Amino acid sequence: MPENFLEIQKEYLKKVWLRPPEELEAVLPARRHGNSFHFKAFGERCELYPHEIILGSQKLTGPEGILIAMYATHVHNEQPQLHPLKSFKELPGSMPYQGAFATNAEKILSPYVPSLQHHQQELAVRFSGHINADAPSGDFSFTLHPLPRIPLYYIFYLPDEEFPASATCLFPTHAAHFMPVDGLADVAEFTARKVIQLVTEA
């Protein structure tokens, strides 16, 4: 990974540790163990230290580490309200990232929609989420939490004779309270790549 990814992560971590430990424990939210905080990120166990981040068993040196550190820098101690839902393009400041979001967070999932339906319960458990019984449309729907206070609400359509499969990723109205909008786009992209990995390896 390029060296600048790790340097950016370290700069965010400096800002994270300016927050009191008690505050971090509450806002992430996380369990505090000595000088580290433990929580789930992108479906894996995450350990946040003053100078490094471990996800699963890997020390992060790439974009995922930046996203986790960015989240820890910006997150507030309030519960995300899932409804009303908003599309990414409805989030303030999202215009420069809309094309990349549609391609990397939604269209990338389309070929895997049947597999996602088959594994939806496993994915919901892995990402501390749930099946959406209240989905307004689609053939199936679930919510995933790639980061504790950032839920992603997915609606999927299976392919048929007339239309290909499709995926829509929606956000809580106040998602940007917990992370900048460009970070939200990247979180959705890495979540998509992670669920593709999980269903193809299953």
Read off the pLDDT of residues 172-191 as tens digits, 9 standing for 90 and up. Answer: 988 988 999 999 999 999 99
Q: Distance between CA 106 and CA 101 in Å, rounded?
A: 7
**Confidence category of residue 1, pLDDT binned at 50, 70, 90:** very low
Query: Is-contact 129 142, C-beta < 8 A?
Result: yes
Is the pLDDT reported for residue 166 higher than 90?
A: yes
Q: What is the pLDDT of residue 3?
A: 61
List the chain domain ranges. 3-74, 85-201
88-102 burial, b at 16+ Cβ within 10 Å, e below that, comes to beebeebeebeeebb
Question: What pLDDT, in 10s, does the model give residues 98-111?
Answer: 999 999 999 999 99
Q: What is the pTM of this model?
A: 0.94
Q: Is the pLDDT at 2 greater than 70, yes or no? A: no
For the stretch 35-71, pLDDT in tens is 999 999 999 999 999 999 999 999 999 999 999 999 9
